[in-house]
Amino acid sequence: MGNSTGETKLMNPQIIAERDNTLILFENGKVKTVPNTTYNQVKYREYKGDRIFYKFDDDMYIQETYDNGIFNAFVKEETLNIRDSAQLCECIQEHKNHGNSEKYESLFKKLYLVENKEKIMKEMISVFGDRVQTVWGTRGNNENDVIPMMYVVDDRFMVDGHGVSHYKKDDGSWSFLCTVAQGNLSKMSITTPIGDIELESTELTIMGKIGFLLAPDITDGVFFHQLSSKMQEVLKAEIEFDSMSVGGT
């Protein structure tokens, strides 16, 4: 007797052969090949083709979505959508083999910083007060072509989201500014809901350049001689005024 409901029971894929670059699977009466990757090893050898779910501890776990290789990842109350299936499966193997979840924590923090960069950088920039403003812009008249975050210092210098410095020309437009001074920020971290996160090199560069532009060194010829004559005079006058104020009357 056949199945009265007419339904066909789907069978989990089985690995029937393994080569250097491919896995050969048998699934529902058909043979197919998939790349021999860390993800496919975990997916088909350990989870028999089912969605991957792995728990590092009560606060850290991952759940594969219904789209192969795309995961919802969790640390405490924070959630990220992660598409790097290879790295996540390496995290699983590292934890299974050595009981170590540091690889997963490091990956999550790195991606958390990327996804929450705007929020984190605004919090970091807030220590400079009103002298530094976070702004966005567009190229030309195209409202959809948004320039990444820009950090405007005293309305005359700017550091963009890539850590590149600019100065405001007399006509109000921004021009590239070579700044070699980046402060002494070899390491810097910020407290987040998932713990302390160290800033990446780009964010360190941004913070260092902002610090320099808040108190520019006019004896730095590489920096100073790029500026317009008008801005040079303004900076000289400000430094002279500050010197007089410190000296007192």
Count other Cβ atoms within 10 Å, centred on residue 153: 23
**Distance, CA of 219 to CA of 35 (rounded, Å):** 59
**Distance, CA of 112 to CA of 91 (rounded, Å):** 16
**Distance, CA of 48 to CA of 41 (rounded, Å):** 10
Distances (CA, A) of 194 to 83, 104, 204: 20, 12, 20
The answer, yes or no, to whether residue 63 has pLDDT greater than 90, is yes
* pLDDT value of position 8: 53
Burial class of residue 167 in the structure, from the number of CB atoms within 10 Å of its CB (0-12 exposed, 13-18 middle, 19+ buried): buried
Give me the mean pLDDT over the 128-142 stretch. Answer: 76
Under the banding of pLDDT at 50, 70 and 90, the label for residue 189 is: confident
Question: Phi/psi of residue 231, each to 5°?
Answer: -70, -35
* pLDDT value of position 129: 92
Under the banding of pLDDT at 50, 70 and 90, the label for residue 29 is: confident
**Which tokens sit at 1?**
């007797």
- Closest to 159 measured CA to CA, from 182, 143, 141: 182
Count other Cβ atoms within 10 Å, centred on residue 168: 20
**Distance, CA of 15 to CA of 36 (rounded, Å):** 11
**Distance, CA of 245 to CA of 121 (rounded, Å):** 33
Under the banding of pLDDT at 50, 70 and 90, the label for residue 122 is: confident
| Lowest-pLDDT range of 39-43, 80-84, 182-186, 219-223 | 182-186
Question: Phi/psi of residue 127, each to 5°?
Answer: -65, -20
Question: Phi/psi of residue 224, each to 5°?
Answer: -65, -40
* pLDDT value of position 11: 78
**Which tokens sit at 192?**
């987040």
Q: How many CA atoms lie within 13 A of 135 on its CB side?
A: 14
